[in-house]
Amino acid sequence: MMLERIPLHTLRTFVIAAHREKFRATAIEVNLTHGAVSQQIQQLEQAVGCALFDRQGRGITLNAAGKKLLAAVEPALAQLERGIRDVQQLATRKPLRISVPPSFAQHWLLPRLADFHQHYAHLALEIDASLTVEDLSRGKYDAAIRIGDGVWSSLAIHHLADGYVIPVCAPEHYLEWKKAFNDRGNVPLMEHNVTPWQQWFSAPVETVATFNDAGLLINAAQQGLGIALVKHLLVKDALSAGRLMALADPQKLDNSAFYMVCMPAAEKSEPVHCLLTWLKQQLHHQTP
């Protein structure tokens, strides 16, 4: 192969010399002697079989062959350096294992993961989306997102957002259901088993479906199956994008809220601190 004949260590020196147009300035940048730089360029020229520079006194200028080689070598070296940095980051990434409700993972966290990775590329985020309330003392997870009253013993608890709820439906049914909903008429109501419509109307109501997962409830609403009473935080993206329509303003019906929790010993760890900082930044402007 032709590459076997090319002294690859000379390519970086060649690129720098092409821009500096002086061997002495190149020598300072690559921490070699003037003679060593000149020798590397000669080795490269011998390997490719032609001169790459026109020598003019103490200065040098790329000739046509040199310009052609520079156009190929410079982006290749840049890509190689990026690849090496990526590999080094992978080798040094710190794990961050979190447990989150599936609804929070799907409807809030997932659309924002790219931003998290952009700001914290050194963290390897591992997400377990489950309805199970994990025992963090077992050490399987570094932190968890929980929706509740904020009372969990033996944990460090950080409030993220209040648990406002809002009635929503698919856009194609909005006009049909809006007036009937306001008049307490006959409309298909769907609910989450921890946020029943009874709290909203302060009276028992009939429902067409009850879900144990708010994410499934939101998906059902988007498919036009009925009006869902859901956490406002979880549907803000869908409301902004027009995938859902609100039939009333958000209300806070109980003391349920969103929290990040962790063991006290993990609270000061760098990965958990980064997660909490990012969550608060993301949620800062998301109150109703």
pLDDT in tens, 126-169: 999 999 999 999 999 999 999 999 999 999 999 999 999 999 99
Percent of the chain with pLDDT over 70: 95
Q: Which residue has the higher pLDDT, 8 or 105?
A: 105
- Tens of pLDDT, residue by residue over 195-253, are 899 999 999 999 999 999 999 999 999 999 999 999 999 999 999 999 999 999 999 99
User: What band does 81 get if pLDDT is binned at 50, 70 and 90?
Assistant: confident
Query: Is there a contact between 98 and 128 (Cβ–Cβ < 8 Å)?
Result: yes
**Residue 253: exposure state from Cβ atoms within 10 A (0-12, 13-18, ≥19):** middle
For residues 126 and 122, give the distance between their C-alpha atoms in angstroms, rounded to a whole number: 13
CA angle 101, 107, 110 (to 5 degrees): 90
For residues 30 and 204, give the distance between their C-alpha atoms in angstroms, rounded to a whole number: 78
Q: Give pTM, 2 decimals.
A: 0.70
Query: Is there a contact between 168 and 232 (Cβ–Cβ < 8 Å)?
Result: no
Strand partners, 98: 127, 143
For residues 49 and 13, give the distance between their C-alpha atoms in angstroms, rounded to a whole number: 18
Please report the domains of the chain, with CATH numbers, ordered by start residue. 2-91 (1.10.10.10), 94-163+256-283 (3.40.190.10), 165-246 (3.40.190.10)
Query: Is there a contact between 129 and 106 (Cβ–Cβ < 8 Å)?
Result: yes
Percent of the chain with pLDDT over 90: 78
Strand partners, 93: none
